[in-house]
Amino acid sequence: MKVFRQGIALALIGLACTAAIAQDTKGKGKETPAQKRANRTEARADRDSTDEGTALKQDDEVIAEYFAGKLMLMDQSTIQLAQLAEERSTNEKVKQFAKMLVEEHTKCSEKLRESAPGVVSVTELQSEGTTRTAGFRGTTDADDKADAVDNPAKAARNPARNPDGSERLIGNGPVDKDREDGSNRTQTAHAMTPLHRILTIDRQATENYIQSTTEMLSKYQGQEFDMGFLGFTIGSHTWALAELKAMDSVGDEKFQKLINDATTKVEQHMMKAEELSKELGADSAQKGNTTRPTTSNGNAPSPEK
């Protein structure tokens, strides 16, 4: 009987412990209204933080692509003027310098194109006879040109611009199919549309600069042409260097390496242009030529009347 009573006592103790554990577990699993509110607030804060981080990343990408596009335009203007100097200059040192500018700015532009393929089409100059993507291709027709900028969606639906239908539309404009990346693609497309419009304006400004500079340099020959070309080169590289230094915090590490490499090249080109300008200026003075040499602000010499 004594053993029986001990067995019952142990069983009751076990049941009591099991009930206590179950009650404790049940109590822990049940949230109070205050806890629920706190958890919802924490979850919302996490989502907001993630959304903000995603938005900042997208903003950084767009900013980096804008500056990459701007540098592509600078490269193209330098290349075209240097090609003109290769054809027109009678000074072997100037011709070699112009050839170096073409080669090194072409390499720089190719690296920029790889880093920002989404803006390549809109930064290609019309004067090069290049073909743009459907939304920004443009033709000789003024209305079509306007559509290419103001209504890229309409332009991309034009069979003449997009004959094989390979350029798909997202948002309000054409997007490279290789850049479609799932859930964020619509946001990226909308972000790129104003970027393309801004770069279209920059492209037109670049074309205007090349045209006016070419017309001005065409008035000169020989050493006067060389001095004018070197003056414009110094002026454009001075501005390019200022732009590059302002980009020291733009983009990722890969883009920053491109900026650093470009900065080094631009500084070298400026030094060489200044060296040649001084050399030609001294030679001109020695020969008794009274024409004032071109200064570093890019002003060409006044034509003789």
- Report whether 69 contacts 117 (CB < 8 A): no
Domains within the chain, CATH numbers bracketed: 45-128+192-305 (1.20.1260)
pLDDT tens across 92-134, in order? Answer: 999 999 999 999 999 999 999 998 888 888 888 865 433 333 3
Alpha helix stretches (DSSP H) within 218-252: 222-245
Q: Centre a 10 Å sphere on the Cβ of residue 84 and count the other Cβ atoms it contains.
A: 18
Q: Lowest mean pLDDT: which of 118-122, 189-193, 285-289?
A: 189-193
pLDDT at 203: 93
* Mean pLDDT comparison of 52-61, 134-143, 145-154, 280-289, highest-scoring range: 280-289
Exposure of 169 by Cβ count < 10 A (0-12 exposed, 13-18 middle, 19+ buried)?
middle
pLDDT-based confidence at residue 5 (cuts at 50, 70, 90): low
**Measured distance between the N- and C-terminal CA atoms of the chain, rounded to whole angstroms:** 136
pLDDT at 103: 96
Checking if the pLDDT of 204 tops 70, the result is: yes
pLDDT at 149: 44
Name 107's bridge partners: none
pLDDT at 57: 66
Name 185's bridge partners: none
More confident call, 289 vs 213:
213
pLDDT at 96: 97
pLDDT at 160: 55
pLDDT at 192: 52
Q: What is the pTM of this model?
A: 0.59
b/e sequence 134-144, b meaning 16+ C-beta within 10 Å:
bbbbbeeeeeb
> What is the rounded CA–CA span in Å between residue 215 and residue 67?
28
Checking if the pLDDT of 170 tops 90, the result is: no
Helix (H, G, I), strand (E, B) or coil at 173: strand
Q: Lowest mean pLDDT: which of 11-15, 41-45, 66-70, 217-221?
A: 11-15
pLDDT-based confidence at residue 172 (cuts at 50, 70, 90): very low
Q: Mean pLDDT score of the chain, rounded to an integer?
A: 73
* Mean pLDDT comparison of 22-31, 173-182, 245-254, highest-scoring range: 245-254
Residue 98's identity, in one-letter code, is A
* Mean pLDDT comparison of 16-30, 188-202, 229-243, 244-258, highest-scoring range: 229-243
Checking if the pLDDT of 190 tops 50, the result is: no
